[in-house]
Amino acid sequence: MQKNPVLKREVRANMRSPKLILSIIGFNLVLALSGFVFLAFFEEAQPLERLFLELFFQEDAASSMSDNELAYNSIRLLYCLLIMLEFVLLFFIIPTLTGSMIAGEREHQTLDLMLTTQLTPKTIVFGKLLAMMKTILMILISTLPILSLVNVFGSFSAFDMIASFGVMLVVSFFLGSIGLLFSAWIKRSVPATLCTYIVLLGLCILPLMLVRLTPELIGSSGGRPATFAYTLAMLMNPLLTVVCLLKMRFGAEASFISYLESTTHLAADSPIARHWLIMSLLFQVTIAYLLVLLSSKYLQPRYRRREMNGAIKERMSSEAETATEDEKESK
């Protein structure tokens, strides 16, 4: 991958840009301030902590904890909140990085120059995406010191940090592929970024809302196609993937499987339910790879020819309107 000239150019430009340093500082500053506020006010917010702990433990498990158990599990909850905060920050950062990857080249009129070289559309797309992943990798590595402070209390191990780090990388790759697709499809950076935000919000929230709004359709005897489609949508849900990781760390995997059984109507002993985290990560990587290939299709000559013909027609029509206005003024 180091032989990819697009990757080399993007990495060199990102390293020289002050945006990367500001992104790293801002990312870590938000995590540090959130952790400080949590530790400073956790005694006054014990009812709120019990509510969040019930999201990761079995129901009513947090209500039966003593104050000492609650204090210990609050440190574990802090780590989970930091991981969720990381996901939220990545959710807002990645579309801004990918929205201008291809559309920005169109706006600067450099995409046609890149396509006249020996670079293939696939090389350009993969180079852009890998450059984004290197930026995300640097941001995630910079957060390890903050997350490792929680390990001082002995509530998490190095394996937990490695697992959360790997999940965040896969989720970032999936989110970046969606943004890259809209950047290759839409000609402008701002509309591409907005469309990416809308799709990602729908991907995270819509499946969770459908199971509440249409419970009679999901899992009914005549709604097996809807149940299958809903299961695929849940596998593609990056928010549910992160929640599954945290549920497994809290030892509440049984409650998560029961949730899947009640929503997707999967059997509790089915391979998908028992290995939901691995299945969802593999499914997201596969979908991301297909989206990257689809993005490269929009840069191929036949698609570019249609785009150029449309641009020529718009230019000719604007020139004709200008000529007509000049004739009217001359008369």
Residue 46, pLDDT score: 56
In the block, tokens 């500053």 appear at: 29
Query: Is the separation of the CB atoms in 150 and 36 below 8 Å?
Result: no
Q: What is the pTM of this model?
A: 0.82
Query: Is the separation of the CB atoms in 80 and 167 below 8 Å?
Result: no
- pLDDT, tens digit (0-9, with 9 covering 90-100), for 297-313: 888 765 555 554 455 45
Residue 71, pLDDT score: 61
> Following CA atoms 19, 24, 27, 30 in sequence, which dihedral angle do they give, to the nearest 10 degrees?
-110
Among 67-71, 238-242, 280-284, the least confident range: 67-71
- Write down the domain spans for the chain: 5-313
Query: Is the separation of the CB atoms in 256 and 276 below 8 Å?
Result: yes
Q: What percent of the chain has pLDDT over 70?
A: 73
> Which of the two residues, 189 and 301, has the higher pLDDT score?
189
Among candidates 111, 38, 30, 130, which has minimal Cα distance to 298? Answer: 111
Looking at residue 64, the DSSP 8-state letter turns out to be: G
> What phi and psi values does residue 65 have, to the nearest 5 degrees?
-80, 145
What is the mean predicted confidence (pLDDT) over 84-97? 93
User: How far is the first Cα of the chain from the last one, in angstroms, to the nearest whole number?
Assistant: 63
Signed CA dihedral, 255, 257, 262, 268: sign only? negative
**Sorting pLDDT into bands at 50, 70 and 90, what band is 137?**
very high
Query: Is the separation of the CB atoms in 236 and 230 below 8 Å?
Result: no
The token pair that represents 151 in the structure block: 């390990």
**Sorting pLDDT into bands at 50, 70 and 90, what band is 229?**
confident
**Sorting pLDDT into bands at 50, 70 and 90, what band is 221?**
very low
